[in-house]
Amino acid sequence: MATHDNCGPEVDPEFFEDLMEVFRKHPQMQGKYQVVCPAPEGQLLGVDLKDKVGVRNVEGDQVITTYHPVGFQEIGQWYCIQWSCNGYAYVCTLMIKMGPIEVVE
């Protein structure tokens, strides 16, 4: 499996060791949460993810992700499935919605 040069346990071992301690302290959360490195996705798509929120829509057997400015208004019921921490609070960075997406920007 290929890894990205900018993130992961090999690049940030101290952070991942601290995170491992959290999962050891709360073993029931090990299958519930995972660590994501959005840099490769943003680079591949040419999208600066720092000021975007991803919206995933399930259509049949496909998952379609679109990116919108942070603070956009999304119509309908959605679920946050990925958060980013700025040191003071968690911010939703990826949402998923079942059915068509209507966006008001």
pLDDT tens digit sequence for 54-91: 788 777 888 888 888 877 766 567 778 788 777 777 77
User: pTM, whole model, 2 decimals?
Assistant: 0.59
Q: Which pair of structure tokens corresponds to residue 85?
A: 């921490």
Q: What are the backbone angles phi and psi of residue 26, rounded to the nearest 5°?
A: -125, 70
pLDDT at 22: 93
Band of residue 24 on the pLDDT scale cut at 50, 70, 90 = very high
